[in-house]
């Protein structure tokens, strides 16, 4: 290694090192601590009793139907919201892509509004809209089959999950559509024109030219949204707080460790959630052969 290269490497680490150290400190340390704590019978209400109990916490959690219920609800929310967001986001991206300049500006402005709103506020907005006594949904939409003015959305699992998922989709579809629009703008242009000259129909161009070239953008959007959805917390906490079978994994972890001060059990749930997230990444990388780093911008 030449002196110059060594100097450059040293300067590089001096500049990037602090960011690196902070990132490691604020995430790696806590997750290792969580792993450690998850192996102890440890509750803050009786801190003196902290005792190593091997994998006992994991046995307790995994044999508890409450955990499995939360797991399946979280998985269901993730799969449905990501699918709907992908379809809606793609439609929206297509609309914006085809729209004339002035309309494109209006549409982009409108869909950036959900992006700028904090999740807690959007959760309250949706909660109030669907509230049986004060919300407008029951009154406006009572002509829709299944909606009557006396329908209490938050009294049942299915309808509660519907509102939770609707708010999640509303909040995050804009982000997906912007990503897809960026992908679309790159692909379109020349490739699409060439295909058009060759006489390809709109559907053919979409299927043969646009979609294959957007694969990376779509996969990244799906993966990141899936990871986000799996950690869903804010809107569930505000709207139902887990009532009627709407407890998700994050909420269960929060309630166990910070609510009931069962640090050992709560840590085990946190670690399991972390492993699920890692699992989603692993599946995505294997299944779609996504090179995350290159798709995210490393040249």
Positions 266 through 295 that interact with other proteins (CB under 8 A): 266-267, 270-271, 273-274, 277, 281, 292-295
Query: Candidates 57-65, 123-131, 152-160, 189-197 — which segment interacts with other proteins by CB under 8 A?
Result: 123-131
Query: Candidates 54-62, 152-160, 196-204, 213-221 — which segment interacts with other proteins by CB under 8 A?
Result: 213-221
Query: For residues 16 and 11, what is the distance between their CA atoms, to the nearest angstrom?
Result: 9
**First-to-last C-alpha distance (Å) of the chain:** 24
Distance of CA 61 to CAs 5, 35, 38, 240, Å?
Answer: 52, 14, 11, 22
Taking CB under 8 A as the rule, does residue 243 contact other proteins?
Answer: no
Taking CB under 8 A as the rule, does residue 22 contact other proteins?
Answer: yes
Least CB distance to other proteins at residue 207 (A): 21
Least CB distance to other proteins at residue 54 (A): 19
Taking CB under 8 A as the rule, does residue 246 contact other proteins?
Answer: no
- Which helix H or strand E contains 51, and what residues bound it? strand 51-52
Taking CB under 8 A as the rule, does residue 95 contact other proteins?
Answer: yes
Burial category of 189 from C-beta neighbours within 10 Å (exposed 0-12, middle 13-18, buried 19 and up): exposed
Query: For residues 279 and 143, what is the distance between their CA atoms, to the nearest angstrom?
Result: 43
Query: For residues 277 and 104, what is the distance between their CA atoms, to the nearest angstrom?
Result: 35
Closest CA to 210 of 231, 233, 181: 181
Taking CB under 8 A as the rule, does residue 122 contact other proteins?
Answer: yes
Contact set for other proteins, span 50-89 (CB under 8 A): none
Query: Candidates 56-64, 102-110, 188-196, 200-208 — which segment interacts with other proteins by CB under 8 A?
Result: 102-110
165 touches 81 (CB < 8 A): yes
Taking CB under 8 A as the rule, does residue 138 contact other proteins?
Answer: yes
Taking CB under 8 A as the rule, does residue 141 contact other proteins?
Answer: no
With b for 16 or more beta-carbon neighbours within 10 A and e for fewer, the 215-253 pattern comes to ebbbbbbbbbbbbbbbbbebbbbbbbebeebbbbbbbbb
Taking CB under 8 A as the rule, does residue 116 contact other proteins?
Answer: yes
Taking CB under 8 A as the rule, does residue 117 contact other proteins?
Answer: yes
Four-residue CA torsion sign, 256, 262, 263, 264: negative
State which of residues 40, 67, 90, 126 lies at the interface with other proteins (CB under 8 A). 126
Least CB distance to other proteins at residue 59 (A): 19
Least CB distance to other proteins at residue 188 (A): 14
Taking CB under 8 A as the rule, does residue 118 contact other proteins?
Answer: yes
Contact set for other proteins, span 161-190 (CB under 8 A): 167, 170, 174-175, 178-179, 181-183
């Amino acid at each position: 290694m030449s002196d110059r290269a060594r100097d450059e490497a040293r300067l590089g680490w001096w500049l990037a090192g602090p960011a690196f150290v902070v990132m490691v400190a604020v995430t790696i340390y806590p997750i290792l601590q969580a792993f450690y704590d998850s192996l102890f019978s440890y509750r803050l209400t009786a801190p003196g009793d902290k005792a190593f109990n091997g994998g006992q916490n994991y046995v307790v959690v995994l044999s508890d139907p409450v955990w499995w219920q939360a797991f399946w609800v979280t998985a269901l929310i993730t799969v449905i919201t990501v699918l709907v967001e992908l379809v809606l986001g793609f439609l929206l991206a297509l609309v914006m892509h085809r729209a004339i300049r002035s309309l494109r500006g209006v549409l982009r402005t409108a869909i950036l509004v959900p992006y700028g709103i904090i999740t807690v506020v959007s959760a309250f907005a949706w909660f109030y809209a669907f509230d049986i006594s004060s919300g407008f949904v029951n009154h406006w939409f009572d002509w829709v089959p299944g909606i009557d003015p006396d329908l209490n959305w938050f009294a049942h699992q299915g309808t509660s999950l519907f509102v939770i998922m609707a708010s999640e989709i509303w909040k995050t579809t804009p982000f997906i559509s912007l990503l897809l629009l960026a992908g679309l703008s790159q692909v379109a242009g020349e490739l699409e024109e060439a295909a058009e000259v060759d006489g390809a129909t709109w559907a053919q161009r979409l299927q043969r030219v646009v979609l294959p070239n957007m694969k990376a953008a779509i996969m990244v959007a799906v993966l990141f949204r899936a990871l986000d959805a799996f950690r869903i917390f804010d809107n569930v906490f505000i709207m139902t707080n887990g009532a009627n079978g709407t407890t998700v994994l994050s909420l269960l972890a929060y309630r166990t460790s910070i609510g009931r001060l069962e640090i050992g059990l709560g840590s085990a749930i946190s670690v399991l959630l972390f492993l699920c997230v890692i699992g989603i990444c692993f599946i995505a990388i294997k299944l779609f052969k996504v090179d995350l780093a290159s798709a995210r911008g490393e040249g």
